[in-house]
Structure 1
Amino acid sequence: MSDSINIVVRFALYFDLMLLFGLAIFGLYSLRGKERLSGTVLNFESLLYTASVLGVVLSLVAMCVLAKAMSGVSGFMELHHHIFQMVIMGTDVGLTWMVRIAALVMAIIGVTLNRRLPTVSLWVVTASAAVALATLAWTGHGAMDEGSRRSWHFISDILHLLAAGGWLGALAAFALLLRLKSLKGEQEARILARVLTGFESAGAVIVVTISITGVVNYLFIVGPNLDEIMLSTYGQLLFLKVLLFSGMIVLAFLNRFHLSPLLARSIETGDYSVAINALRRSMIVEFSTAVIILCLVAWLGTLSPEMEMNSM
């Protein structure tokens, strides 16, 4: 039961903080000037405020789960302030937890600037969310390493998290832009076509970063070992994750080379409903796949491949 709670909380934190970072940075590289004002293209105020506050709440829940696991108490009601003090002040994961809370508070402050300074607001939220998301690296396998290996593992983990957050946020933004009430006319359709085309460069960087850091992380955690690991739960879940990620890349190529150009051509003819519907279906599948991958990531973070292989 405790493992299940841990996995659910981990998933929720990954999902929330990746959305916070991904949506904020999407507004910077895809939208221009007044388009970054909340309500013009995306409702940044409600989206980013909700994600920031939820991030704080989930972080508090995660700390309770961690404190219970580290103290060995049988129930959450047995947790006392001295246990939290020991975990927060006496461990690296506790210190990074405080950094995350501070970063999320800064993100909330940044959201309040959107009406007056939308670009500054998005920069503040992006930077704060990047810090908050990066702290999740200390809850993964990298925390088990030592010395320079630990540092390089953290760097790889952080880049992996940020790239994944950028992709998830972009998918969420596209899904919001593809809603029926968001596409009020040709102007909104043209904005959608432009941001889809503009995502090509960012998308390429994201895919390359995720791929390289994914391989690096695998080598840090397991090493150049394929035979034994595939017999473990960790290896099977990891294989499924890679398979789903490959599917997302195929869908991304479909969007890039077929659906996005189709939308651009359809706008010129005035009938873009077919292209919009095709994009909606593609985004639903791609976003759903991303959510499943995050579930697997949350589960993988609770497993020890080394212990599984040693027990074989």
Structure 2
Amino acid sequence: MSELANITLRFVLYTDLMLLFGVALFGLYSLRGQERISGMVLPFRSLLRGTIMLGVLLSVAGMFLLASAMSGESNIAALYPHIEMMVLETDVGRAWLVRIIVLVVAAIAMMLNRRAPGASLLVATIAGGIALASLAWSGHGAMDEGAWHFTADILHMLAGGAWLGALVAFAWMSQTDALQTENRIRLLARAVTRFESIGAVIVVVIAVSGVVNYLYIAGPKLSLGTYGILLFVKVALFAGMLVLAALNRFHLGPTLERSLRDGQYRVAANALRRSVMVELAAAVLIVGLVAWLGTLSPEAEIGDL
């Protein structure tokens, strides 16, 4: 598997599974009752089913590429014995199998969204979280024998998925076409308020787990190679997201609530939408950096200094 293909596949798969987990989770803590039915506020069925199908396709493609890289075979028929061995006899393969199973479960759950919207989102959230966590078996955390690095890796991805999913949900809810009534504006303002405590937890988990991950990967030494540069860019983008999140929390959110009382909410809603879109762009770049960083070895870079 070429390095570019590996990074691209990891990036798209990470983003896809983060959205599955994060958007479903957003529906649980920000919406209530009939609001959780697909199409009432968010298109849960089309959006989540799309991420599920793409997740399965990317996982299958990734397994074929990995088996081809490890065996040297390029013929699909010749790869099957190698794939069977990997799935049944390696931790990465077993994690892959669990991912496929829970994605199928999530797909079934979303078929029942109109009958049981809360339960379907709960099952999709749990299944999406397990699917996202399964990626840790192909990351740096799986290389250590201890559980702390592995746990920090999983928590880092889950927190990132919760944040990315919330941003996509806010971007969708703040579209001009979705803000045609005052009730929709009030719903957006309520969702922003509900995200405040969740967002604080997400930031703490991302920060702490990120530090733990780096200490396990590179130790107290600073990598000055490609890994160090990419990590610096990632941290800078994360800091920028924190600034935007603080802006949403302490200025744009309260401004939107005040504007509802005055009846002049269009300007405030548009300002919030622009802030969310910038924050979302930074989040996507961070996921791309995470996919790239996962293919690098900072220990080797430090050792070469």
TM-score, scaled to structure 2: 0.97
State the SS of the aligned residue for 2:94: helix
Do the aligned partners of residues 62 and 242 (structure 1) sit closer, same or farther apart at CA in structure 2, a change above 3 Å counting?
same
Partner AA of 1:85 in structure 2: E
The Cα shift of 1:77 comes to 5.0
1:200-231 CA distances to partner (integer Å, 9 max, x unpaired)? 000000000000000011111111112xx1x2
1:179 maps to 2:172: no
The Cα shift of 1:311 comes to 2.7
The equivalent position to 2:199 in structure 1, one of 197, 203, 216, is: 203
Q: Distance in 2 between matches of 1:255 and 1:53?
A: 33
The Cα shift of 1:79 comes to 4.9
Please give the residue correspondences for 1:68-79 in structure 2 after superposition, counting only pairs within 5 Å.
68-73=68-73, 75=74, 79=78
Q: Distance in 2 between matches of 1:76 and 1:301?
A: 28
1:107 maps to 2:103: no
The Cα shift of 1:72 comes to 3.1
State the SS of the aligned residue for 1:6: helix
The Cα shift of 1:277 comes to 1.3
Please give the residue correspondences for 1:114-133 in structure 2 after superposition, counting only pairs within 5 Å.
114-133=113-132
1:271 maps to 2:249: no
Given that residues 30 and 198 in structure 1 are in contact (C-alpha distance below 8 angstroms), is that contact kept between their aligned partners in structure 2?
yes
- The residue aligned with 2:49 is 49
State the SS of the aligned residue for 1:80: helix
Q: Distance in 2 between matches of 1:242 and 1:30?
A: 28
State the SS of the aligned residue for 2:295: coil
Given that residues 67 and 79 in structure 1 are in contact (C-alpha distance below 8 angstroms), is that contact kept between their aligned partners in structure 2?
no
The Cα shift of 1:115 comes to 0.6
Given that residues 110 and 122 in structure 1 are in contact (C-alpha distance below 8 angstroms), is that contact kept between their aligned partners in structure 2?
yes
- The residue aligned with 2:26 is 26
The Cα shift of 1:69 comes to 2.0
Partner AA of 2:238 in structure 1: F
The Cα shift of 1:90 comes to 2.0
Given that residues 144 and 150 in structure 2 are in contact (C-alpha distance below 8 angstroms), is that contact kept between their aligned partners in structure 1?
no
1:247 maps to 2:246: no
CA RMSD between the two structures: 1.2
1:146-171 CA distances to partner (integer Å, 9 max, x unpaired)? 2xx2x221111111111000000000
Question: Unmatched 5+ residue regions in structure 2?
Answer: none
Q: Distance in 2 between matches of 1:279 and 1:299?
A: 31
1:215-268 CA distances to partner (integer Å, 9 max, x unpaired)? 011111111112xx1x21111101110110010000000000000011111111
Number of equivalent positions: 305
1:170-214 CA distances to partner (integer Å, 9 max, x unpaired)? 000000001122112100000000000110000000000000000
1:303 maps to 2:267: no
1:63 maps to 2:63: yes
Q: Distance in 2 between matches of 1:253 and 1:222?
A: 31
1:236 maps to 2:232: no
Please give the residue correspondences for 1:94-173 in structure 2 after superposition, counting only pairs within 5 Å.
94-146=93-145, 149=146, 151-173=147-169
The Cα shift of 1:50 comes to 0.8
Runs of 4+ in 1 over 3 A off after TM superposition: 75-79
